Structure 1
Amino acid sequence: MSKMTLAQKIGQMLQVERATCTAEEVKKYHLGSVLSGAGSSPKNNTPSDWLEMIDSYWCASVESDDEHLSIPILYGVDAVHGNNNISGATIFPHNIGLGAARDSELIKKVSKVTTKEVMACGIDWVFAPNVALAQNYHWGRTYESFSHTPEIVNRYTTNIIEEMQFDFPHQGIIAGIKHWVGDGGTIHGIDQGDTILDWPSLESTHVAPFKQAIKSGAMTVMASFSSWNGDKCHGHKFLITDMLKTKLKFNGFVLSDMEAIDYLSNDIYQSIGISVNAGIDMFMLPNNWKEFIEHLHSHVELGTVEMDRIDDAVKRILSVKVHYGLFDKVRPTLRKMSNNQSFGSNEHREIAREAVRKSLVLLKNKDNILPLNKSSRILVTGKNADNLGHQCGGFTIDWQGVTGNELIKNGTSIWQGISKIAANAKHIKDVENENDYSMFDAAVVVIGEHSYAEGMGDIRNGNDLLIQSGSMVNGELNIIKPYGKTLTLADLHPEDYQTIKHLTDNNVPVITVLISGRPLIIESELSASAAFIAAWLPGSEGQGVSDVLFGTHDFQGKLSFPWPQRDENLPTYKSNQYSPSNKIKPLFEYGFGLQYKN
């Protein structure tokens, strides 16, 4: 650091999106990190394409001369359920499904595979795990949460960090814990909204997983887009500096979320000063990063940001790079795990298949209709029966996910998994055109949500709640079009109930498989079904569903969230204290899950 100029220090504080910077600019501006936002990929999106791209950034960053020091970049991605950006990767169930599995050893295996597939592409750093405690299912990021209580999240967090950061400086990747803090507790479940709690309540719930993460060796933490009691977390010195860094003794560095500082003020110059002084160390800025450099220079020159604050940020960043062994690593293409043949391998997919079957929760099994006989005549239908994109959900190939099977390479849809086991199964997309239902013993109907991510997954009936919440927040309001207006599945996706009803009207018993990123209000669909399975967002290995449908394996999953009867059953906030409404009992309690052997 004694050799570094102010320009070099400010450059280390930047993480720039690959699409907005060249390798030459990495060197010219001394950039500390490059990322691929979800869906941002090179060429044909293969591991070799990623290695070639990252290699060029790396080589530029370590090329030294009289004006440039050799400081390697960190390359980061959102690998939140496998290395999900990259074609052919093994895609695991999203966190909500893994939470239902209640299996710490499974989490270790999932994290190990993810780490290997990330290293195969030359990537150093992942923005995972998300340790949010989702408290309201209207939140579009509910599926990124393992549970609404710290118990499961704390246990999983340690396992994930230890598996990812397993052999520094020789192997492993850097885990990025997110989001600091309280994003799962916003009122009305609004993404980027406001969590209204006193500090003791915040600390006992939403802060608890971060304590565990720091104890387990977490080296990076991403700040939350949300606010706490009206003040945005990205500008919150008390939360970032006083609590996270000082009280919790976090010695790593704090990363901003994508463009999040832009919403601190309508003046970007002021936003930069606020966020740096609050304690943000590295800034994820895809577009206005050159403006950031200019403005931060000005802040230092004018004394509105002290040089000590710059030095603290850079020291933290460089310390993480040193601890990770970055200065001793060879270029990405020459690393031991680069382009490793295990990427997307059958061995990895078998672990994902295990994760699928262990995450499924059996909610109903009338007259023991399950398990199905492999020789039975089974009709398979529903919009999500043969749709790998919907099965994988958001943060898969693209930010909002994809639709259909074309872009999810080497995966298996639920229908494809059934067809491999049941010779007499038949897939019919439009059951209303079928004339003879007497030929079927039962129907497996795969229904539920489309893919979504972040605020575009919010459930919100109009913008009045958003505006009401935003009016209490100091800063800019980011209005995003929501997924829908209601959690009631029959209203959100009426085609699902229509399909079930059509089959039951024709005397075909229905086994419903729900693909969703959260518990939904399912009264109509549940009542009409002989059996009902919450499959969450199972990922690329749909045959894990058929494994339990036909009894090769028993159900293991237990709800890591209580399942509500209706919207009024959801958590509410009273007197700045979180408390679940107890006026209406949940439809299914936390921990519920049937098994064949019971």
Structure 2
Amino acid sequence: MRGDVMVKVGTLLAATLLASAATSSAQTEGTTAAASAVANPAAWPALAMKRQRDPKVEARVDAMLRRMSVEDKVGQLIQVDIASITPKDLETYKLGSILNGGNSAPNNDEFAPAAEWLKLFDAFYDASVKRSDGRPVVPVIWGTDAVHGANNIVGATLFPHNIGLGAARDPELVRRIGAATAAETAATGIDWSFAPTVAVVQDDRWGRTYESYSEEPSVVASYAGAMVEGIQGRVGGDFMKPGHVISSVKHFLGDGGTGGRDQGDTRVSEATLRDVHAAGYMTALPAGALTVMPSFSSWNGAKLTGNKSLLTGVLKERWGFDGFTIGDWNAHGQVPGCTNEDCAAAINAGLDMFMYSGPKWKELYANTLREAKAGTISPVRLDDAVRRILRVKVLAGTFEAGRPSSRPTAGKFDLLGAPEHRALARAAVRESLVLLKNNGVLPIKAGANVLVAGAGADDIGQQAGGWSLTWQGTGVTNANFPNGQSIWGGLSEAVRASGGTATLSANGQFTAKPDVAIVVFGETPYAEFSGDRPTLEYSPDDKTNLELLRGLKKAGVPTVSVFLSGRPLWVNPELNASDAFVAAWLPGTEGGGVADVLVAGRDGKPKADFRGTLSFSWPKRLDQYVLNRRDAGYDPLFPFGYGLSYAKRGQVPQLDETRPANAGGDQNALFVRGRLASGVLLTTTGAVTQSRVDRLAQEDSVRLVFSGAGELTLQKAQPIDLSREANGQLSLILDYRVTQAPTGTVTLGMAGGRSATVPITGALRAAGGDWAQLAVPLRCFADGSVDMTKVTRPATIAVTGKLGIDVSGIRVASAPPGPVSCGSR
């Protein structure tokens, strides 16, 4: 069912609140809001839940609870990342859950085949149910971020990210995607998905904007319940039947209003928090969502993970949510007075299960047990949390399901990338594309000689974006997506089928002038932390794609831009240089869906017309990062709901390309392709000389020759805050090539208040003469007493002897797949 249809949420009051949100006069993000961080539950609507309490379930849960020891109960409150725990541990510690974090996988192999995931879950499950003391056996459950398909599993179907689905305005499509994702997840035995994200993003600088369906509450509300029903099944129908998994609605509450900063602070009135940011919960919870994930972020200065008025007062008491709350990645450690290993305050506020990553999870268990025995966590609160966890496990069929490999759909790996799922994903791509400009060049005519250019044309990883096999979506190749098709692959098939010819040339070079060029470019993959931006300017530190477009225009080649992005961006120069411009968002693994709309067949018609319309307003200026329809002074380039088609034409005039001098760049991109990011200074001291050298383009790297002791330092004009990135396990990445092996020691350092260094001599000595990448976790510097909130020198290479090294990039990002360490001597 298409259109901006509001899904009924069970009460007239709730529907009225959501419908009025678009014209609400409540304060928006970035403005001064009421300072209170204590919610008034009476001001929130009651929800009519489709799933009612089952007396038989309650009796079963109570019977188990009576037989459990306090040790058993505390164990249920803890979920640990598989990178930090072994199956053997669960023979002693009866924990409630395990998870695979963004970069965790069986055997530390993010490309492990599906069978290895199932095998590992069997091992954890077997250990969790092994006991002989007569107390209740409570199987462990496994949580995973299946946010746009079973995106951790090689061969899975990856659907467009939420921002693209929002452009489709099709709740039934989203329900079907949820069901397909659940089926592919269940094939690996995993029984819990951390989805959907129902953030109503108000500041598009946020690196998780693509995980939001829309800036408009009504669109998010229309999708949230549908996705939950797809993942879990419909209450009263196929709810939690085989092939469905537990859903987790996230991140509660206001994660989309943090001023474009991950783990930031949403400064808004309670009315705005309710009418705008809670929209998705109004439909997701009545649809039967079994878990809710509190946000890392704050509301008016108070961390959500410790906000009792919202977690208990609104979510559990006012709304009647009877599932359980699961923390985000060590988020409880940010609650005042807490550490990652000790946080009774979060449990007392209404958190039911900790999500923990790190080697000290036994300390978290011991501290929580001590506090439960001492009454710091009351017996009533402890029993309430455990009762909720047991209730979800009973409703999910966990106790009857048996070993993961014995479950009805487990091991059916032909479900991964199944033809019907791929067809659904391809349809979703077609529906999500938004045509912003078309000066008569689209559709591509049958029989045309087509040049396909741009780095994104034949890169499934780039078109899939973050959360695609790896956390940040980096370090992958097309071979890692055996059931996927690149945009180039789809275009090539379609053009040849129409009687034309297609040539791939990433840099846009050609010998015979083509009839038309399709240039596929855009943002490279990122996820939380590394995706945050200071402005909405596309690629402020690298104008290679703009130069490519202008070169084709100068050559008289009609050009179609297919823009890959996780948010609307300021692309006025790129729009001016294009004859047609398509916002393709992050379409996933079915690149052929792009060709279905762009390329005409022999009959002169493409398989489909453009149907997508903007779910986010498109900026006219790069500083319009808060640009929402209900805001005062709303002045977009393309408004919410805009979208051309072959049936609906429109003209785009020449656009202003003025860029403010102080626009800034990405703080995490320090030195990229031979260019220093905005506000970064490069200095050398001692016996070192520098010159320029080519890698991918002319003079895009620096050549350093150390004839003795010396340093290269990158310094920020203003201190930067890398504390979130350090907590999020990002790394300092060095792209380099050794031209002369070191004769002395080499360290990589960082400074903020104090400085810290890690040895990298061993890595450089082991490197050959080819380009390589070195990743040092930011935690190595944080553990060395660097103040990560005020980093002034983000990178220093210090040498005591001779060394020849070429450097093409220094940045903060997710490490490539594989283990990382704090250096090598």
Structure-2-length-normalised TM-score: 0.67
Partner of 1:411: 484
Q: In structure 2, what is the Cα distance between the partners aligned to 1:169 and 1:533?
A: 39
Partner of 2:594: 545
Partner of 1:476: none
Partner of 2:100: 36
Q: Does 1:210 align with 2:281?
A: yes
Shift of 1:409: 2.3
Q: In structure 1, what is the Cα distance between the partners aligned to 2:251 and 2:240?
A: 26
**Residue among 375, 378, 385 paired with 1:313:** 385
**Residue among 53, 56, 60 paired with 2:127:** 60
Q: Deviation digits for residues 573-596 of structure 1, max 9, x if unmatched?
A: xxxxx9865446100011111111
Change (3 A) 1:65 1:276: same
Output the amino acid matched with 1:499.
Answer: L
Partner of 1:364: 437
SS in 2 for 1:23: coil
Q: What is the number of equivalent residue pairs in this alignment?
A: 563
Shift of 1:568: 3.6
Partner of 1:425: 502
Q: In structure 2, what is the Cα distance between the partners aligned to 1:491 and 1:520?
A: 11
SS in 1 for 2:343: helix
Shift of 1:337: 0.6
Q: In structure 1, what is the Cα distance between the partners aligned to 2:528 and 2:423?
A: 29
Output the amino acid matched with 1:275.
Answer: A
Output the amino acid matched with 1:201.
Answer: T
Partner of 2:417: 344
**Residue among 97, 106, 113 paired with 2:173:** 106
Q: Deviation digits for residues 218-244 of structure 1, max 9, x if unmatched?
A: 110001000000001111111111111
Change (3 A) 1:72 1:207: same
Q: In structure 2, what is the Cα distance between the partners aligned to 1:95 and 1:283?
A: 26
Q: Does 1:379 align with 2:447?
A: no
Q: Does 1:19 align with 2:83?
A: yes
Q: In structure 1, what is the Cα distance between the partners aligned to 2:76 and 2:134?
A: 14
Partner of 2:325: 254
Q: Deviation digits for residues 335-367 of structure 1, max 9, x if unmatched?
A: 11112222212221111111111100000011x
Partner of 2:622: 567
Partner of 2:301: 230
Partner of 1:71: 138
Q: Does 1:554 align with 2:609?
A: yes
Q: Is the 8 A contact 2:232 2:240 kept in 1?
A: no
Q: Deviation digits for residues 548-595 of structure 1, max 9, x if unmatched?
A: 0112211110101111111343328xxxxx986544610001111111
Partner of 2:550: 501
Q: In structure 1, what is the Cα distance between the partners aligned to 2:134 and 2:486?
A: 54
Q: Is the 8 A contact 2:73 2:382 kept in 1?
A: yes
**Residue among 619, 638, 651 paired with 1:588:** 638
Computed over aligned residues only, the root mean square deviation of the Cα atoms, in angstroms, reads 1.7
Q: Is the 8 A contact 1:63 1:69 kept in 2?
A: no
Q: Deviation digits for residues 462-509 of structure 1, max 9, x if unmatched?
A: xxxxxxxxxxxxxxxxxxxxxxxx321252541111110011011111
Output the amino acid matched with 1:350.
Answer: A
Shift of 1:123: 0.9
Q: Is the 8 A contact 1:264 1:271 kept in 2?
A: no
Change (3 A) 1:11 1:270: closer
* Residue segments in structure 1 that go unaligned for 5+ positions in a row: 461-485, 573-577
Shift of 1:246: 0.9
Q: In structure 1, what is the Cα distance between the partners aligned to 2:172 and 2:320?
A: 29
Output the amino acid matched with 1:87.
Answer: V
Output the amino acid matched with 1:82.
Answer: G
Q: Does 1:158 align with 2:229?
A: no
Shift of 1:410: 2.2
Q: In structure 2, what is the Cα distance between the partners aligned to 1:457 and 1:322?
A: 38
Q: In structure 1, what is the Cα distance between the partners aligned to 2:338 and 2:184?
A: 41
Q: In structure 1, what is the Cα distance between the partners aligned to 2:135 and 2:478?
A: 46
Q: Is the 8 A contact 2:333 2:340 kept in 1?
A: no
Q: In structure 1, what is the Cα distance between the partners aligned to 2:375 and 2:406?
A: 44
Q: In structure 1, what is the Cα distance between the partners aligned to 2:395 and 2:506?
A: 54
Shift of 1:270: 8.9
Q: Is the 8 A contact 2:156 2:416 kept in 1?
A: yes
Greater relative CO (CA pairs within 8 A, separation 6+)? 1
Q: Does 1:597 align with 2:668?
A: no
Change (3 A) 1:57 1:270: closer
Output the amino acid matched with 1:3.
Answer: R
Partner of 1:477: none
Shift of 1:245: 0.8
Q: Is the 8 A contact 1:135 1:184 kept in 2?
A: yes
Percentage of matched positions with identical amino acids: 43
Output the amino acid matched with 1:412.
Answer: Q
SS in 1 for 2:227: helix
Shift of 1:304: 2.0
* Residue segments in structure 2 that go unaligned for 5+ positions in a row: 1-64, 600-605, 649-825
Partner of 1:443: 517
Partner of 2:210: 143
Q: In structure 2, what is the Cα distance between the partners aligned to 1:169 and 1:530?
A: 49
Output the amino acid matched with 2:463.
Answer: Q
Q: Is the 8 A contact 1:263 1:271 kept in 2?
A: no
Q: In structure 1, what is the Cα distance between the partners aligned to 2:451 and 2:213?
A: 33
Shift of 1:67: 6.7
Output the amino acid matched with 1:323.
Answer: L
Q: Deviation digits for residues 525-563 of structure 1, max 9, x if unmatched?
A: 111110000000000010000110112211110101111
Q: Does 1:8 align with 2:72?
A: yes
Q: In structure 1, what is the Cα distance between the partners aligned to 2:94 and 2:297?
A: 30
Q: Does 1:291 align with 2:363?
A: yes
Output the amino acid matched with 1:408.
Answer: F
Shift of 1:9: 0.4
Q: In structure 1, what is the Cα distance between the partners aligned to 2:533 and 2:623?
A: 14
Change (3 A) 1:48 1:205: same
Output the amino acid matched with 2:504.
Answer: H
Deviates more, 1:102-111 or 1:317-326: 102-111
SS in 2 for 1:222: strand
Greater Rg by CA: 2
* Poorly superposed stretches of 4+, deviation over 3 Å: 578-584
Q: In structure 1, what is the Cα distance between the partners aligned to 2:66 and 2:539?
A: 64
Deviates more, 1:229-238 or 1:322-331: 322-331
Shift of 1:374: 3.4
Partner of 2:721: none
Output the amino acid matched with 2:462.
Answer: H
SS in 2 for 1:137: coil
SS in 1 for 2:529: helix
Q: In structure 1, what is the Cα distance between the partners aligned to 2:341 and 2:355?
A: 17
Q: Deviation digits for residues 120-174 of structure 1, max 9, x if unmatched?
A: 1101110000000011110000000000112111111111111221234532211
**Residue among 395, 400, 408 paired with 1:328:** 400
Shift of 1:214: 1.2
Q: Is the 8 A contact 1:41 1:86 kept in 2?
A: no
Q: Deviation digits for residues 272-299 of structure 1, max 9, x if unmatched?
A: 0211111100111021321111111222
Partner of 2:710: none
Change (3 A) 1:217 1:180: same
Partner of 1:479: none
Partner of 2:27: none
Shift of 1:269: 7.7
Q: Deviation digits for residues 172-226 of structure 1, max 9, x if unmatched?
A: 2111000000010112x11100001121221011112112211111110001000
Output the amino acid matched with 1:321.
Answer: K
SS in 1 for 2:617: coil
Output the amino acid matched with 1:413.
Answer: S
